[in-house]
Amino acid sequence: MDGTREKEIEYAAFICPTCGKPLQKQGGSCRCENGHCVDYAKSGYLNLLMANQKHSQQPGDNKLMVEARRRFLEKGYYEPLLREVCRMAESFLPSEKSRILDAGCGEGYYTDGIFRYLEEQGGAPNILGVDISKTAVDKAAKRNRGISFAVASVFRLPVADASCGMVLNLFAPYYQPEIERVLAPQGVMLLVIPGEGHLWELKEFVYQEAYKNEVKAFALENFFLEERRTVRELLSLKTREDIDDLFKMTPYYYKTGREEYERLHSLDVFQTLAHFELLAYRKK
């Protein structure tokens, strides 16, 4: 292939889920050199989830959870967390040209927030987002067309080896082998997990026997822990809808009886602690 033709090829951000070769854009589709083809959805994402990677017909967060989380987050309740994630991403990004992968991006609230923050700092963010929920990825793709989104599993990321300077894992399933594979040497992983007291008052109100979150030791094999930050914020939920949305965006909703749910749903205002641990790890 001559140099002129090489320059004409526009590569997608992802690799073929079947053979692992780079995907080349061709109109409204992507095709690899082995002829495997994937079409872009109307909202702009690629569905790279193989049938044998599905554990149900519609895996991942359902429409109820996605919509509840979208409404809740857009009201700014978790904005303190978003600000701190943005600062850490800027601080640890190897260079402004480094690729960032949000592994388990959901509906794209944090992915979009980081993109816009880095853009405001004068950069041209190179960000990818993947999630197993087709409903969530569709919302994410509609939120920001400057980010490449794909439906995919965090247990088999459709991203080339050592191609990312940073990987975000925010409340998502964590699978270290894949994160290690896609991270470049000295790349950084930003991990956000619920702190011990996260939503304690909510759990205490709903359950007869409530337990604090179990936070595991922060040491990870093959990574250096570079920095730990804690975000604690008392949430003052001002409407019944906000209380309901917070509850529905958590796993607690699906583990709660009707009577307990109705008791919570009758409240017009509520306060509960938001507690997050932000951890920056550098690949050894």
Q: Report pLDDT digits (tens) over 86-137.
A: 999 999 998 888 999 999 999 999 999 999 999 999 888 999 999 999 999 9
Tell me how far apart the terminal alpha carbons of the chain are, to the nearest angstrom.
38
Domain 56-283 classification at class level: alpha beta
- What is the side-by-side order of every strand in the sheet holding 11-15? 11-15, 22-26, 29-31, 37-39
Note the pLDDT of residue 182.
Answer: 98
Q: Is 61 left (phi over 0), alpha (psi -120 to 50) or beta?
A: beta
What pLDDT shows up at residue 8?
Answer: 53
pLDDT, position 3: 42
Q: In the chain, which residues have pLDDT < 50?
A: 1-7
Give the residue among 194, 182, 188, 115 at the shortest CA–CA distance from 149.
Answer: 115
Q: Where are the domains positioned within the chain?
A: 56-283
pLDDT for residue 255: 85
For residue 57, what pLDDT is reported?
Answer: 75
What pLDDT was estimated at residue 126?
Answer: 95
Q: Measured at the alpha carbon of residue 130, what is the angle toward residues 228 and 75, in degrees to the nearest 5? A: 65
Distance CA(154)–CA(106), nearest Å, equals 12
Structure-block tokens of residue 21: 């070769």
